[in-house]
Amino acid sequence: MFRNYLKIFFIFILIVASIFLWEKLKTFSLFSVKEVKTTHNMVLKEMSLLGKLELANFAFRDIVEQELVRDYLPNPKAILIVQGEAIGCIDLSKVKAEDISSKNDTLIIHLPDPELCSYKIDHSKSKIYDTEYAFMNEQSLMNEAYTRAEDKIRESALEMGILEQTKKNANLVLKPLLENVSGKKVVFQYRLKATLERLK
C-alpha cells in the first residue's frame, strides 16, 4: 500500500518537474524568437510622369440612405455619413513648345482644359450611422452605398463648377509664378476655347 502511494507521489513529482522544465525551456534562447525576418520582392511595375497641377479641392459630406428592395422580406436599409473630395487639375505635361508664344511684353500660353483628376471617398472619416434588416446583406449594402456616393461626388463637383474654379486658381497661383520667372505679362488661353474662337 505504501509503495503504491510512493509510486503515485513519484509520478506526480515527475509530471510537475516536466512541466516546470518545459516552461523554462520555452524561455531558453533555443525556443525564443530573437527577431522577425521578412523578405520582400518589390518590382517597379510602371513609372509615370506626373504633370498634373492640382488647383482646386472640393470637400464633400453626404448622408446616404441605401435600401435593397425585396418582394417579400423586409427591405435591408443603411444610413451612412460619407466624406470625400474631388480635385481639379491641369495636366502641364500636355503643354508643348508651340503652345507658348510671345507678343511684345506678353507671354501667351495655351493650357489644356481643366479636368477632374480625382474624386474619392475618405473611408477613415466615413461611418455607418444605422442599419435595419441588414444581416447577411450588410456588405452589399455598404459597397453599393459607397459606389453611389463616389459617383455623386463626381457629379456634384462638376455641377458646382470645379473646372471653372480650377481655371480661376490657375490665374491666382500659376500666373504670378510665371510672370516672376519670365518678367512678362502672362495670358492663359484654353485649347477648347481657342479652337472654338478659330472656328467662328
User: Are 27 and 58 members of one domain?
Assistant: no
- Answer yes or no: is 40 within a domain: no
Identify whether residues 27 and 83 lie together within a single domain. no
Count of the separate structural domains present in the chain: 2
**Separation CA 168–CA 190 (nearest Å):** 12
Q: Tell me, yes or no, whether 77 and 133 share the same domain.
A: yes
The number of CA neighbours under 13 Å toward the Cβ of 102 is 7
Is 0.75 surpassed by the pTM of this model? no
Is the same domain home to 8 and 101? no
Per-residue pLDDT of the chain (200 residues; tens, 9 = 90+): 555 555 565 666 677 666 666 666 555 544 455 565 565 556 655 555 557 888 999 999 988 887 767 777 777 777 888 889 999 999 988 888 888 888 888 888 899 999 999 999 888 888 877 766 666 667 777 788 888 889 989 999 999 999 999 999 999 988 888 888 888 898 888 876 544 443 34
Distances (CA, A) of 142 to 10, 46, 85: 63, 32, 19
Q: Do 14 and 91 reside in the same domain of the chain?
A: no
